[in-house]
Amino acid sequence: MNLSVEKYAVVLEGLVDTEASGSYALDIVERVRRLRAERFAFERRQGRWKSFRQ
């Protein structure tokens, strides 16, 4: 199965939120979740993610 980089990222994001992924490869799941949190924090600092309560 050939996936584009963008499609791979979408699939990976969905997989890291499953319970099974944590029991299979916890170190990788934790790394992906940390990187995602850092990316969202950066986007918030740049003003790209607005709170719904504004």
User: How confident is the model over 14-47, as pLDDT tens digits?
Assistant: 888 888 988 898 998 999 899 989 988 998 888 8
pLDDT band at 54 (very low <50, low <70, confident <90, very high): very low
| Residue 52 maps to a domain | no
Question: Are the beta carbons of 53 and 47 closer than 8 angstroms?
Answer: no
pLDDT of residue 7: 92
Residue 28 lies in a domain: yes
Up-side HSE of residue 32: CA atoms within 13 Å toward CB?
A: 18
Q: Give domain status of residue 2, yes or no.
A: no
- The reply to whether 25 falls in a domain is yes
Domains contained in the chain, number: 1
Host domain of residue 13: 7-45
User: For residue 2, what pLDDT band results from cuts at 50, 70 and 90?
Assistant: confident
